[in-house]
Amino acid sequence: MYTVTPQIMLFDVGEPQSFDQSRAIGLVEPLLPYFADAFFGAFTEFRIGIDETTRAKFGGRVRGQVVTELAWAHVRDQLTEWDEIKFCDKLGFFKVIVNDEVVIRFKRLNRDLLADSKDTDQSRAWFGNQHVDGVADHLLRLTFGYRPERNWMSCHHYYLTHQSSFKSLAWVSSISVVDQDFAIETADEKGQPAHGLPGIEIKPLLPKAIELKDQA
């Protein structure tokens, strides 16, 4: 027996894409090692830079907001010298604009790989790719998504997504950090590039992807 996961229902199957997925990935792919390094730094700072007793006082949402803002700061530090990169803080959250073609926000994803956002007029417009004051309409809205561990002490699951609405995805690519221990290993030991950043593998997931499981 085989089962089809509910995730197939999240994709707008058959609808033309507003922006070629391969072009979007091509623009973002050079940045992914820097994003990975930034998030590794953010989780590490939260884990060892904040006293355990203090961390224990934080609820889940507070932990998430602290790590998120640490990640924003680390991304800024990583990309501040890039000419083709602009930072944007309009609308109350941090974004990276690449080559005046795509705008990337950083969001925790839910189990369906959708951005974990409150249902507000602004979020519906943002993820519905509708006009939002403060951000140019021609920019493709991408999400560098992550699914952290429940305690917000680490994260091993990253994705690049383009949502077509508040509750559906146009496409999603899985991002794998080749070596999760890149920050504490030397380049020679792990064969990492000379710049010391992690190796990255990005794999587009088909919109009609069906997960088949043999239940026999």
Q: What is the pLDDT of residues 135-192, one digit of tens each?
A: 999 999 999 999 999 889 998 889 999 998 988 998 888 888 775 454 333 333 333 4
- pTM > 0.85: no
Quote the distance between the C-alpha of residue 58 and its chain's center: 23
Cα separation, 40 vs 134, in Å, equals 30
* Residues of the chain falling short of pLDDT 70: 1-19, 179-198, 204-216
Contact indicator for 161, 141 with CB cutoff of 8 Å? no
The confidence score (pLDDT) of residue 205 equals 66
CB atoms inside a 10 Å sphere around CB 76: 14
Angle, vertex CA 68, rays to CA 64 and CA 71, nearest 5:
145
